[in-house]
Amino acid sequence: MFSKACEYAIRSTIYIAEQSNLDKRVSITDIAKAIDSPEAFTAKILQQLSKNQIIDSIKGPNGGFSIEKKNMRNLKLSQIVLAIDGDSIYKGCGLGFKECSEKQPCPVHNKFKIVRDELKYMLENTTILELSLGLKEGLTFLHR
Amino acid sequence: MFSKACEYAIRSTIYIAEQSNLDKRVSITDIAKAIDSPEAFTAKILQQLSKNQIIDSIKGPNGGFSIEKKNMRNLKLSQIVLAIDGDSIYKGCGLGFKECSEKQPCPVHNKFKIVRDELKYMLENTTILELSLGLKEGLTFLHR
DNA sequence: ATAATAAAAGATAATTTTATCTTTTATTTA
DNA sequence: TAAATAAAAGATAAAATTATCTTTTATTAT
C-alpha cells in the first residue's frame, strides 16, 4: 500500500503526538526504539516531515521532535502520505497508465475508483490526535 | 497499490482474454505492444501466470498465450494479484507490523480494515471476462 | 568561550524491484 | 528429419528503495 518510508513516517508521527500530549520531546533514538524502525533511515524521514512542517524539530540538548497540541486535531494521515509518497495513491491509475482518465479509462478504472475514494476519505478524515489517543488508552500498539 | 509486475500481469490477462474471445492466440510481442509494457519483463510475468494456471501457453509456431472461454467468467482479479504480489495486500498491516492483529491492533488497523475489505471484495468479485468485454466494446482502453 | 548534545546534510552501501539478454526446450511445418 | 517458431529457463544489468555512516550546523549548559 505505502512505502516503508511512509509506514515509518506514520508510526513516527503517531508516537511523537502521543509523547507531545505528555509534553515530552523525543529524540531520533527514542522514536526508532518505540516504533521498531532502523534509526538512521528514520532520521531521514523525520527530516522530510520536519521540512513539510508536519512535525517540529529542535537541535541541541533537550532538543528532539514534537507536535504542537493545537495542531494535532487538524493533522490528517493524508498530509503524511502526501509528503512522503506523493499523490499517486489518489491520482494514479490502478494499472499504472499515465493516460488513464475518466474520458479514457483503463479496464479497472471504475472498479478502483470506489476503493481509492474510500481510502482517500479515510486518510483525509483520520487525525493524528485520535490515533495517538488509542495508543495512550492502550487500545492500539506500535510494537510487538 | 500493486507492483509493476502485477500491473503488467493484470493488463496482460485482460488483453489475452479479449483476444481469446476472438479465438486468437497472442505472442509475447503482441502482448507487450498491446499493453505498452517492456517485452522481456512481461515474458517473465507471463511465465508466472502460466505456472499458476491463470493463462495457457503453447510453444512453437502458432503458439502463444490464451485463456479458455469457459474459465474467463470464473477468473477473478484476486487470483492474479495473489499469484504475483502474494497476500500482503489482504493480510498485511497498513503500517507494516508483522505482529499486528485484531487482538493487538496497530493504530490504523481498524481504519484500514474497512478499505482493505472493500478492495478484497472488489478483487474477488471482478472477473476477467467483464473487464475484457469493456475493452471489446470500446468503453475502456489498454494504451494511450 | 568551550564542551556536550542532537538534528541536518551529505556520501555511500545493501537490497529489492524492474528490466534485458542469452541459451534451452517444445512444437510445427516444410 | 531439418529448419523455423515461440515460450521457458537462466544469467546479468539497471534503477529504485531501503538503510547506514560521516561530517556539519545549531543549541544549550558549564
Contact A122/B135, CB-based, under 8 Å? no
Averaged pLDDT, B41-57: 98
If you average pLDDT over residues B99-117, what whole number do you get?
A: 96
Q: What's the pLDDT score for residue B122?
A: 97
**What whole-number distance in Å separates Cα of residue A129 and Cα of residue A117?**
23
Whether residue B52 is contained in a domain is answered as: yes
Mind listing the pLDDT tens digit for each residue in B31-47?
999 999 999 999 999 99
Take residue A39 and report the three cell numbers written for it: 534509526
CA of A43: nearest nucleotide by C1' is: C7
Nucleotides in chain C near protein beta carbons (<7 Å): 4-11, 17-22, 25-29
- Percent of chain A whose pLDDT exceeds 70: 99
Per-position DSSP letters for chain A, written without gaps between them: ---HHHHHHHHHHHHHHHHHHTT--B-HHHHHHHHT--HHHHHHHHHHHHHTTSSEEE-STT-EEE--HHHHTT-BHHHHHHHHHTTHHHHS-TT--TT--SSS--TTHHHHHHHHHHHHHHHHH-BHHHHHHHHHTTSS-S--
Task: Give a yes or no: residue B104 inside a domain.
Answer: no
Q: Is the CB of A58 under 7 A from strand D?
A: yes
Q: What is the pLDDT of residue A90?
A: 84
Number of domains in chain A: 1
| Domain presence at residue A102 | no
Rounding to the nearest 10 degrees, give the CA dihedral for residues A125, A94, A81, A1. 100
Mean pLDDT of chain A: 97
Quote the CA–CA distance of B57 and A103 in Å, as a whole number. 34
Would you state the pLDDT for residue A143? 83
- Statement: residue B91 has pLDDT above 90: no
**Domain-located, residue A25:** yes
User: Distance (Å) from the C-alpha of residue B64 to the closest C-alpha of chain A?
Assistant: 23
In a domain, B8, yes or no: yes
pLDDT higher than threshold 80 for residue B119: yes
* First-to-final CA distance of chain A: 21
CATH at residue A63: 1.10.10.10
Give a yes or no: residue A73 inside a domain.
yes
Q: What is the pLDDT of residues A42-101, one digit of tens each?
A: 999 999 999 999 999 999 999 999 999 999 999 999 999 999 999 999 889 999 999 999
| Residue A22: domain span | 4-85+127-136
Residue A114 lies in a domain: no
Q: How far is B7 from chain A (nearest CA, A)?
A: 5
On whether residue A120 sits in a domain, the answer given is: no
Proportion of chain B above pLDDT 70, given as a percent: 99
**Residue A121: what pLDDT?**
97
pLDDT at B78: 98
Q: What is the average pLDDT across B7-21?
A: 98
Whether nucleic acid strand D comes within 7 Å of the CB of B101, the answer is no
Of A98, A100, A131, the CB nearest to B108: A131
Question: With 80 as the cut, is the pLDDT of residue A144 above it?
Answer: no
Does pLDDT of A111 surpass 80? yes
